[in-house]
Structure 1
Amino acid sequence: MPLTLEQINAADRAEATRLLDGLYEHSPWIAEAALAQRPFRSLSHLKQAMADVVRAAGEDRQLALIRAHPELAGKAMVARTLTSESTDEQSRAGLAHCSPQEFARLQQLNADYNARFGFPFILAVRGPRGTGLARQQIIETFARRLENPADFERAEALRNIHRIVELRLNDKFGVEPALGHLVWDWQESLAQHSDPGYADKGQLTVTYLTDAHRAAARQLVADMRECGFDEVEIDAVGNVVGRYRGAAAGARYLLTGSHYDTVRNGGRYDGRLGIFTPMACVRELARAGRRLPFGIEVVGFAEEEGQRYKATFLGSGALIGHFNPAWLEQKDAAGIPMREAMRDAGLPATLEAIAALRRDPSRYLGFVEVHIEQGPVLNELDLPLGIVTSINGGVRLQCEVTGMASHAGTTPMDRRRDAAVAVAELALFVEQRARRDGDSVGTIGMLEVPSGSINVVPGRCLFSLDLRAPDDPQRDAMVADVLAKLKEICTRRGLRFVVEETMRAAAAPSAPDWQQRWERAVEALGVPLYRMPSGAGHDAMKLHEVMPQAMLFVRGQNSGISHNPLESTTSDDIDLAVRAFQRLLEDLAREQPAA
């Protein structure tokens, strides 16, 4: 029979420790210490309590915990001395059936890893969905993590131990994160669509109105209809819009969603998690035949990343009437204007049709968005969810510095007008200036010497600037300082420069009452509250201009990396996000006046 929290909460310490045996490998002290936090309000609360014990244990006990774990496909597996839990996990991953070549590779990796770090490689081989990683995935992860710094790798080992424990707890308690699995599977399915040149490499790239983008939109339409939405459409800019009506005619809507386009060679969860999470909630409402006092409008925004055209937040911007007419004439790298791309996709490509998408804010309660964190904070704190307090304001600039191309061998160092060195000097200043604020960030993410040659002093340098801060005055002060420094450098070095501002987004603090709704929803799950700003931009920034908004972050794996194929999260964390969204809906329903 599965365990219950009631049993754990009611048992004496010795019996409760026995019931939780086998979670942390040969380390019953963790569960025993965590029992001091009883009564546990949820399984998530128990998981968090044990993670907190490990965090507070100190480096020596943490290393002892790591070293208590067996190697993957190591001596203990061969000798059949693994614990029953480890035997099951390694068997599920097929490690008991390695080819001779795979087994030899794993043995070499084990030896190299132990020599480098002094403890065994730890990986939750059942993976983010709990169904098991393939042997090749395990070997690739092993090889990649062998390159990590020692402190980082020790922390990564502990994070994987906590994931192993989470899965073992699910087994003990007979818990299945069914809604998390559903959303995880939807995202995997949507990721089959990728642009040419990337799909054949197994990479995910979906840019605005390509064939892959249009296929993704069609799949979202089909998924929404299957969930039970009353109306589903692709609008004039390619947004996928699903509406689930409220109980009464004319009821207002809660607006939610995120984007389904991606960066080049990106991850599967950025944006898309915020579409599928509310879709799962609507699916459950429709299956129960239930209507809320308000409707739910879920939008898969067609464009947020600004990859094919310089038109960032195009999808959400259209909903608030912010569509720049000049965008229609922009050309992509292949010379295709946006207007032509729209027509090829069957969209009207007229300003009148796009203007008609503008929403009336009075018809909406507000906007909420669920998003993968895209950073390391929640991952490092062993927290599954975070409450967003504000979205940083940002400015993006495309810049060019022009000097004089000249012979690298014959031009004396004090006679050079080197455009690249000037930008390198500016890059160091950007780093120093952003650090001065503590919570500002500055990045030169694109840097190019056109027609550069190994033996030519660079005469031109093209580069980007991305400058962000939690509030607009702080951001604007940093922008002014960086541009002043660029002018000073170029004047001193005899160079010219031009700057084009391509995006300016205001900071978007969360509406207090909406932030509190997320907080109540998370707290009800037994998960600690953690409030944090968002350094990344989101569609919520655009909706913030016309209605109240608030966001919920979901922990990412692999140190929270995003805009990268390693971007990942677990079905358990997704399940918590879905349940938090359901609780927010219930909270909101109770607030609405009776019809």
Structure 2
Amino acid sequence: MAWTLDQLNAATPAQALEALDGVYEHSPWIAEQALAQRPFRSLAHLKHALAHAVRTASTEAQLGLIRAHPELAGKAMVAKSLTAESTNEQSKAGLTQCTPEEFARIQQLNADYNARFGFPFILAVRGPRGAGLNKQQIIDTFARRLDNHPEFEVAEALRNIHRIAEIRLNDKFAAEPVLGNDVWDWHEKLAEHSDPGFAEKGQLTVTYLTDAHRACAQRISHWMRDCGFDEVEVDAVGNVVGRYRAATPGAKYLMTGSHYDTVRNGGKYDGRLGIFVPMACVRELHRAGKRLPFGIEVIAFAEEEGQRYKATFLGSGALIGHFNPAWLDQKDADGVTMRAAMQHAGLCIDDIAKLQRDPAQYLGFIEVHIEQGPVLNELDLPLGVVTSINGGVRFVGEMIGTASHAGTTPMDRRRDAAVAVAELALYIEQRAAQDGDSVGTIGLLNVPGGSINVVPGRCQFSLDLRAPTDPQRDALVRDVLDHLGQIAARRGLRYTLEESMRAAAAPSAPALQHHWERAVDHLGVPVFRMPSGAGHDAMKLHEIMPQAMLFVRGENSGISHNPLESTTNNDMQLAVDAFTQVLHQLAEEQQP
């Protein structure tokens, strides 16, 4: 029989410890420490307490926990000496039914991994959906992680142990993340659509107004109707707009959503998570026959990534009157203009100006988004409340020195353009770190016509400088440009520099940010505040209405814009629950 949190909170220490037996493999000390934090407000609270016990343990204790786990398809499985939990997990993954070739491959990987790291390979084989990875996915992950740095791999092993524990707790408490599963499944189905040239390789790429893009729009429209939205349309730029009306006519709307286009060979969750989470919330309202004092407008933005055309944030920009008519004459790699693509898709270009929203009709804009970074993953936290979307400035430049013979030019007489840019890169690394939350990158570095035996006379480079507030960003830019001038003067070089982009920071509206904080706290999860280093649709809506964002932890060290981008059904469930809480809070505020 499944346990309940009330039973666990009321149990004696011995009973509670017995209830959590097997959650962490052969390591009762974790449950002992976590149980000292009773009473638990939620299963998420319990999970965090357990993870925190591991996080604050000594390195020796952490390694002991890792080594307490069996190898995958290893000696313990063959000898049938696995714990009941491990037996169930490895069986569901098909590891008890390996072909001789698969078994030999896994055995070799086990040997190589143990030789490199000194502990067994740990993988939550039931996967991010909880239904189980297949054998090929397990083997591919095994091989990929062999290349990790040892310190990183210790952390990755512990993160997988926490996921194993989370699934085991779900089983013990009969806690199925039903809505998280639905959100997960929507992502999987939408990822069936991909552009030619990528679909054949099993890669996800959906760029503006391709066949795959339009298929995604139709599928999202269909799901919105199934969820009970009162109005669903594809607007003049390809945004899919679903509206769920308020309890009374004429009430304001809460706007939410994110983008459904992707980068090339990208992940399934960037943007799309912010569409499906509110869709699930609206569906539950519809099923309950419930209306709120405000309407909900969910928008699947057609274009945010700027992949097919150089028109980043086209979808959300159109809603604030920032559609640039000059974009219509841009051509893609095949020579197709945006105008022609829009006409082919049946969009009415003349109606684009009508898309501009009146901010007086809205409570604001909120957005759920996968973090796209490692912070939440490293802290073992499922959710993060965004305080600001970083402002940024980009430059393209060229350092100019003198090309000379690499063998005959003494080191103290060189005018090396590449070394100067390298020195600048090191300064940016040090200067941005001083702020704690500023970032700086030289992402492009090119020596035109470079040769192995020539001191570089020219070096082309880019600068990308970001910070949570405009004053902090401007101070970073000022210091970097000053140092650039000093480097050039000291080395006898000159340079050119052109600003190519400037975006203002978008601080979260305090009231909406507080709603997210209250929602996260209600779930029993620590409230963690963080800036967003990446740009999002919310920063466009910020120009006309209040906005605030919620981040959801990414798996695989939070990697994004990559096929390895992932999150779990449990974290998706928490995002749905947090969004629902925000709706309840706003509804209470709007009551007369």
Scaled to the shorter chain, the TM-score interval is over 0.9
- Length-normalised TM-score, structure 2: 0.94
SS of the equivalent of 2:355 reads coil
2 CA distance for matches of 1:470 and 1:509? 7
Paired residues for 1:545-560 under 5 Å: 545-560=543-558
- The corresponding residue for 1:247 is 247
- The corresponding residue for 2:175 is 175
- Length-normalised TM-score, structure 1: 0.93
Residue 286 and residue 510 in structure 1: after superposition, are their counterparts in 2 closer, same or farther (change >3 A)? same
SS of the equivalent of 2:564 reads coil
- The corresponding residue for 2:496 is 497
Instruction: Verify the 8 A CA contact 2:204 2:265 in the aligned structure 1.
Output: yes
Shift of 1:200: 1.9
1 CA distance for matches of 2:427 and 2:504? 24
Shift of 1:340: 2.9
Instruction: Please give the per-residue CA displacement for 1:436-476, whole angstroms capped at 9, x wherever unaligned.
Output: 33321111223445666667776765543321001101212
Residue 582 (1) aligns with residue 580 (2): yes
Moved more, 193-202 or 45-54: 193-202
2 CA distance for matches of 1:309 and 1:411? 46
Determine what percentage of the aligned residue pairs are the same residue: 75
Instruction: Verify the 8 A CA contact 1:505 1:541 in the aligned structure 2.
Output: no
Paired residues for 1:501-516 under 5 Å: 501=500, 503-516=501-514
2 CA distance for matches of 1:269 and 1:580? 18
Residue 201 and residue 90 in structure 1: after superposition, are their counterparts in 2 closer, same or farther (change >3 A)? same
- The corresponding residue for 1:535 is 533
2 CA distance for matches of 1:400 and 1:326? 29
Query: What's the Cα RMSD here?
Result: 2.3
- The corresponding residue for 2:363 is 365
Residue 71 (1) aligns with residue 68 (2): no
Moved more, 364-373 or 435-444: 435-444
1 CA distance for matches of 2:196 and 2:415? 40
Residue 339 and residue 131 in structure 1: after superposition, are their counterparts in 2 closer, same or farther (change >3 A)? same
1 CA distance for matches of 2:14 and 2:468? 49
Shift of 1:511: 1.3
Instruction: State the AA in 1 paired with 2:346.
Output: G
SS of the equivalent of 1:37 reads coil
- The corresponding residue for 2:158 is 158
Paired residues for 1:397-408 under 5 Å: 397-400=395-398
Residue 453 and residue 11 in structure 1: after superposition, are their counterparts in 2 closer, same or farther (change >3 A)? same
Instruction: State the AA in 2 paired with 1:394.
Output: G
Paired residues for 1:412-561 under 5 Å: 420-448=418-446, 462-486=460-484, 494=493, 497-501=496-500, 503-561=501-559
SS of the equivalent of 1:310 reads coil
1 CA distance for matches of 2:75 and 2:133? 21
1 CA distance for matches of 2:343 and 2:329? 13
Shift of 1:332: 3.2
Residue 155 and residue 174 in structure 1: after superposition, are their counterparts in 2 closer, same or farther (change >3 A)? same
Residue 24 (1) aligns with residue 24 (2): yes
Shift of 1:110: 1.0
SS of the equivalent of 1:366 reads strand
Instruction: Please give the per-residue CA displacement for 1:337-386, whole angstroms capped at 9, x wherever unaligned.
Output: 33333223222334xx3221111000000111111111111111111111
Instruction: State the AA in 1 paired with 2:32.
Output: E
2 CA distance for matches of 1:167 and 1:362? 45
Instruction: State the AA in 2 paired with 1:377.
Output: V
Shift of 1:496: 5.1
Q: How many residue pairs are counted as aligned between the two chains? A: 591
2 CA distance for matches of 1:314 and 1:411? 51
Residue 287 and residue 462 in structure 1: after superposition, are their counterparts in 2 closer, same or farther (change >3 A)? farther
Shift of 1:90: 0.2
Residue 225 (1) aligns with residue 225 (2): yes
Residue 364 and residue 165 in structure 1: after superposition, are their counterparts in 2 closer, same or farther (change >3 A)? same
Instruction: Verify the 8 A CA contact 2:437 2:531 in the aligned structure 1.
Output: no
Shift of 1:169: 0.8
Instruction: Verify the 8 A CA contact 1:400 1:499 in the aligned structure 2.
Output: no
Instruction: State the AA in 2 paired with 1:429.
Output: Y
Moved more, 239-248 or 441-450: 441-450
- The corresponding residue for 1:567 is 565
Instruction: State the AA in 2 paired with 1:261.
Output: D
Unaligned ranges ≥5, structure 1: none
Instruction: Please give the per-residue CA displacement for 1:112-152, whole angstroms capped at 9, x wherever unaligned.
Output: 11112111111100000000001111111111111212221
